[in-house]
């Protein structure tokens, strides 16, 4: 078993076919097929279902380990470079959508200036989409909603932010600075799906006030929800940083008594040691969040 075999298997898993995997690895299809075949022979089982074009159950198990192994190989190179005071290599960062909107431009600017030999790969997704990528080693770090229930993921608080009712300026409640939970319950809202942590927090807050929220529709993903709100599809409860500056004239942010803060954390694999680029990214994130608290009302850095 060697790195080329594991890389070939992952390329097929990621790109769907042997020919696409070969293009991604800048080689020919016969090389990819040969590497996978040798790996299958060594392990004594098929790893790819050629008819269906996907990994077998055994192939999925090998791929999960392979991602971690290759990630550690990259980390070794980065750590050796760090001993020469160089931050070299790739850091793969996942972010939830509305957070990515204001964080990524600042991260890119600082990283490119301070660590020009570091490469940043950004993946946007919901917390439920990012957690498995972090577990398998496809991501080095991820900014996700807290708490997480995934046992092999460790987290640290990154920031908290107010959850606010976002209304068009023409809405009857748009002139109010704060409303009560009972008033919120009278408004049909775009809400997270039942069964998600975000929806549970909202429903629990409403229940504590003796109210029940009304869902106009259930939308999985804050970024999509925000897009629908700003397209005029209806009001919603959104984080304070979700409102882009260029449309603030048309929309109002209204506080709702009893709503919890949204907790956002930085997550990594519990059993892995971050590479030098990942450690640099953590420092930059802390710096950007501290500065962001002054620019975004409703954003609160961790107190500890």
- In the chain, the domains with their CATH numbers are 3-66 (1.10.10.10), 87-160+263-299 (3.40.190.10), 163-260 (3.40.190.10)
CA torsion 280→283→289→291, rounded to 10°? -100
Q: Give 222-269 pLDDT, tens digit per residue.
A: 888 999 999 999 999 999 988 877 777 889 999 999 999 999 999 998
Compare 218 and 145 and report the one with higher pLDDT: 218
Residue 79 is encoded by which pair of tokens? 């750590």
Confidence (pLDDT) at 284: 95
Confidence (pLDDT) at 84: 59
Q: Give 169-219 pLDDT, tens digit per residue.
A: 999 999 999 999 999 999 999 999 998 888 999 999 999 999 999 999 999
Nearest to 63 by CA among 43, 47, 50, 40: 47
Q: Give 31-80 pLDDT, tens digit per residue.
A: 888 998 999 888 999 899 888 778 999 988 888 888 878 777 776 766 76
Confidence (pLDDT) at 289: 92
Q: Is 158 helix (H, G, I), strand (E, B) or coil?
A: strand
Nearest to 92 by CA among 58, 57, 127, 124: 124
| pTM of the predicted protein model | 0.72
Residue 273 is encoded by which pair of tokens? 């040691």
* Average pLDDT score over the chain: 89
């Amino acid at each position: 078993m060697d790195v080329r075999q594991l890389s070939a298997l992952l390329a097929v898993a990621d790109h769907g076919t042997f020919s696409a995997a070969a293009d991604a690895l800048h080689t020919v299809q016969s090389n990819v097929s040969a590497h996978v075949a040798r790996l299958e022979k060594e392990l004594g089982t098929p790893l790819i279902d050629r008819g269906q074009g996907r990994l077998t159950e055994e192939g999925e198990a090998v791929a999960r380990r392979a991602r971690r192994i290759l990630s550690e190989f990259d980390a070794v190179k980065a750590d050796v470079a760090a001993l020469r005071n160089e931050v070299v290599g790739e850091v793969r960062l996942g972010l939830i959508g509305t957070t990515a909107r204001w964080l990524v431009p600042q991260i890119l600017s600082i990283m490119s200036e301070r660590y020009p030999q570091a490469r940043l790969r950004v993946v946007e997704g919901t917390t439920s989409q990012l957690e498995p990528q972090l577990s398998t080693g496809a991501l080095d770090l991820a900014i996700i909603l807290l708490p997480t229930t995934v046992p092999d993921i460790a987290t640290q608080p990154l920031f908290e932010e107010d959850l606010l009712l976002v209304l068009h300026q023409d809405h009857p409640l748009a002139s109010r600075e704060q409303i009560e939970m009972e008033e919120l319950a009278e408004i049909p809202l775009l809400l997270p799906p039942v069964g998600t942590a975000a929806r549970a927090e909202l429903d629990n807050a409403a229940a504590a006030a003796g109210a029940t929220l009304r869902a106009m529709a259930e939308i999985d993903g804050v970024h999509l929800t925000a897009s629908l709100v700003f397209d005029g599809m209806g009001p919603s409860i959104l984080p304070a940083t979700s409102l882009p500056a260029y449309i603030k004239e048309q929309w109002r942010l209204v506080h709702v008594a009893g709503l919890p803060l949204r907790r956002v954390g930085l997550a990594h694999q519990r059993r892995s040691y971050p590479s030098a680029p990942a450690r640099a990214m953590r420092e930059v994130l802390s710096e950007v969040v501290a500065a962001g608290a002054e620019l975004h009302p409703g954003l609160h850095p961790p107190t500890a």
